[in-house]
Each structure stands twice: as structure tokens, then as C-alpha cells.
Amino acid sequence: MNFTIPEECSALIDALQKLLDQETAKAQPVDGSRSFFSHELDGALEESGFLDAASLDDLGPLAAAMVTQEISSKPIIVEAAYSSFLRALVLAEWPRPMAVLTGDYSQATRFLGVAKSVVFLGENEVRASRVEAEDTIPAETFFAYPMARLRDPAACLSRSESVADSAIVRRLLLLATACELSGVLKAALFCVTEHVKDRRQFGRPIGSFQAVQHRLAMCASTISSGEWLARRAAASGSMEHAVMAAGFLQECTNRILYDLHQFMGAMGLTLEHPLYRWSYRAKLLVSDLGGASRQLRDLATITWS
């Protein structure tokens, strides 16, 4: 039992942080848009190989987990989680960015409008198809991700190929969700923490009030739990750990987001403050793959079968 982060991972994350800082500084948000996908950063990440960490012998899925958590912590959106796990480990030949559809293939899904591949996850089968922008219709940007739906799902499905084992893909997608969600929530927490240190009411920083401190502290403990459940799931390769990590994070997200938005007050309801870039990603991630409802029931079934 050893929780020391391997040197290779630390070095990888240090290098990643430098790239993220450079590209984040250059990126400009689109006025009035909740979604801010950076093609430049997305391309830079692909070119630099950070998204391939899971497949490299000296790095592996734990490194991919930390890469995904780090990238997700930025207020600039790229397709990293699917590429870091699904593409790196089972779909290396497929172009990215990637989008994933489960259940109803006519629904809007994130990254589809910028994706080069779409993965269809059924209960017993996984298929993939190459896509271009003309295959998709942009959807309303309610969430902070670029969303789109397939113009003709049946046509896209008919030209798709069977690609991988559905259980393996499901596990990797759960990992992707858990890692992305833990990174998003942690960043949101620290963003709000900075605000409550500065924002003064009643003669002092609102972060000095015990009620605020305690609720943020509870968020911190919960998010730290999720972060490590996700890392353990990546390292172990176990389905039980993957459903546990995703389910735990999905179940706690709404409580955490409530507190974070409460402490931002009205400023957090504007698009001028970046909190929404994390909270409105988290609000979509809670429903991934059936949400906490599916994950926690599956967890119980797997553990006590």
C-alpha cells in the first residue's frame, strides 16, 4: 500500500500544467456562449501525447487519471477524458476528438459537433463510426460543453463497425466520467474558495464565517474522496472500483454544486464569472451512463453477488 505519486506521473503533470497555462492564457471565450471548446488546446494536447498516457508502459491508466483530472480542472474545455481512456486503451486507430452515445442515439451529446469519431455503447455491443461536422446538428448550449446530435442516427449506425467489448468500454467510460468529474469539482471548489477569501460582507471576508467554512470543508472532504476513488479505479482496472468512483461522485455532485453556487451569490449566476464552466460540466456528467442510480445499484450487485 503506497500512495506516493510516481515520479514519472509528477513529471508528466508538471509538463502538462505548463502547456495548459500557456494555452489557457491565449484562449478567448466566445461572448454569450456557455460552451468554450478550444481547438488549439485540444490539438496541442493530442500532438504532445498527453492523451496517450494510459497506453504507455511507464505511465499507464493512473497517469491518465491524473492527466484527465488536471485538464478538467481548467475553465477551458477540450475532449480529454474519452481520448485518455477509451481511445488510448482500445480505440487507438480511431480519430479524435471522440463523442459517445448510450441508450437513445438521437439525443444530444457532448463533443459530437467537433468529433471525428462517435462511439455507440449498447448493453452488449460497442460500435464506432467516423463523423464529420455535416453529420451533426448543433444543440442548444445549455451545458458548458459543445453539444450536438446526429443528423441521421440510423445512417451513422449503419456505417459503424463493431469495435470492442462492451464491458471494457463501459468501465473505461466510467473512469473517464469519474476522473473528469473529480477534476471539475475540485477546481470549482478552489475557485469559490478564492472568492470567499476576498468577498467581504458584514465587515469581513465571507469565508471567515463558520457556516461557509464548514460547508466548503465538507465539500473538500467529499471531493478528495472522489478524486482518490477515481485514481484507485484507474490503477486497479476493476469494474467494481470504476462504478464506485463514478457513482460516488455523481451522487454527491448536486449537493456540492448547491453550496458552491450559494457562496458565489449572484456573481456565480453570470457568465462573467467562470464557475459555470465547471458547474455546468458537472451538471451533465451526473447523468453519464445512467447516473448514480445505475452505478450505485450496479456496485451493490457486483460487490454482493
Partner 1 sequence: MDFAWSERQRAFRSRVVDFLKSELPDDWSEIAQHGPGSRQQTEFSLHFCPKLAEAGLLVPHWPKEFGGDDASVWEHFILGEEMWATGEPRGPQYMNVNWIGPTIMRFGSEEQKQFHLPRAAQGRAIWCQGFSEPSAGSDLASLRTCAERDENNFVINGTKIWTSYAELADHCFLLARTSGKRKDGICIFLVPMDTPGITVRSIPSLVGEGDIHEVFFKDVTVPASAMLGGEGQAWSIITYSLGNERVGIPRYEFSRRTLDTLVARLKEEDRWNDEYIRYRAGQALSACEAARLLVYRVVDERSRGAPPSAESSLARFAVVTADHAVSNFGLEFLPDSFSNNDISMLKPHHERAIASGIASGAAEIQLGIIAQSYLELPRELRT
- Residues near partner 1 (CB under 8 A) are 1-6, 9, 62, 189-190, 193, 196-197, 204-205, 207-210, 212-214, 216-218, 220-222, 224-226, 228-229, 231-232, 235-236, 244, 247-248, 251, 292-293, 295-301, 303-304
Q: Is 263 exposed, middle or buried (0-12, 13-18, 19+ CB in 10 A)?
A: buried
- Nearer Cβ to partner 1 (65/150): 65
- Nearer Cβ to partner 1 (40/194): 194
**Contact predicate 121/176, CB 8 Å:** no
- Nearer Cβ to partner 1 (7/132): 7
- Nearer Cβ to partner 1 (209/273): 209
- Nearer Cβ to partner 1 (204/266): 204
- Nearer Cβ to partner 1 (138/205): 205
Provide the minimum distance between the beta carbon of 190 and partner 1 in the complex, in angstroms, as a whole number.
8
Provide the minimum distance between the beta carbon of 179 and partner 1 in the complex, in angstroms, as a whole number.
15
**Contact predicate 91/51, CB 8 Å:** no
**Contact predicate 98/89, CB 8 Å:** no
Give per-residue burial for 56-69: e unless 16+ CB within 10 Å, then b.
Answer: eeebbbbbbbbbbb
Provide the minimum distance between the beta carbon of 216 and partner 1 in the complex, in angstroms, as a whole number.
6
Provide the minimum distance between the beta carbon of 200 and partner 1 in the complex, in angstroms, as a whole number.
10
Cα 301 from Cα 71, distance rounded (Å): 33
Provide the minimum distance between the beta carbon of 21 and partner 1 in the complex, in angstroms, as a whole number.
21
DSSP character at residue 5: P
- Nearer Cβ to partner 1 (142/228): 228
Provide the minimum distance between the beta carbon of 6 and partner 1 in the complex, in angstroms, as a whole number.
6
What are the grid coordinates assigned to 56, written together? 504507455
Backbone angles phi, psi at 299, to 5 degrees: -60, -45
Nearest residue to 139 (alpha-carbon basis) of 184, 99, 102: 99
* DSSP secondary structure, 53-89, as one string: GGGSTTT-HHHHHHHHHHHHTSSSB---HHIIIIIHH
